[in-house]
Structures are given as C-alpha cells and as structure tokens.
Amino acid sequence: MVASNAYCPASEPEAVHNGVMAGKELDPQRARAARDVVRQHPAMSVIALSPALIGTGLVWWLAGPWWAILSLVAATVIGGRAVLRKR
C-alpha cells in the first residue's frame, strides 16, 4: 500500500525536469532572475546575508580568524547545496 503523500517521479510533468538533473547546472533564467533581484534590491541581499556575516564576525571575535574563515566557507557550501539541491 502506498501512502498518499509518497513521492512518485512519474506524476511530475515532463516540463519540470526535462530529464536533466537539477544539481548539475543552474538554469540560466533562474540565474538571471537572481542577479536581477540582487541588482534591484541590494539592501534585501545584505539583510538576507546578515545572519552569516554576524555569525562570522562573532566566530572571528571569539575563536579567531581561521575558524571564522572556515565557518564562512562551510556556510557558503551548505547554502549552495541548499540552493542547488534537486527540487
């Protein structure tokens, strides 16, 4: 018996993924849209990034610059994986 909320790839329309894996490349249209948002609303971008920047500043102050750089790289990798993961 299959649960009603189970994932079934056959139920998705072909236009959604076109047989291309989502993690391999970023859709050019989505990349342009993200770039346009950053250009039109730079304050919104800074506000969205402020928790990572504040966290990096706190780690720098409490643990030192190398730990802060490491935490910033880790946050970038984790954020990138979250953005690029298969939807």
Mind listing the pLDDT tens digit for each residue in 59-84?
A: 999 999 999 999 999 988 988 888 77
Structure tokens at 21: 């894996």
DSSP for 10-35, written as a single string:
GGS-HHHHTT--TTT---HHHHHHHH
Report the alpha-carbon distance of residue 70 to residue 75 in Å, rounded: 9
Residue 27 pLDDT = 78
Q: Where are the domains of the chain?
A: 50-87
Helices marked H in the chain: 14-17, 28-40, 42-63, 65-84
Q: How far apart are CA 52 and CA 44, in angstroms?
A: 14
pTM of the model: 0.52
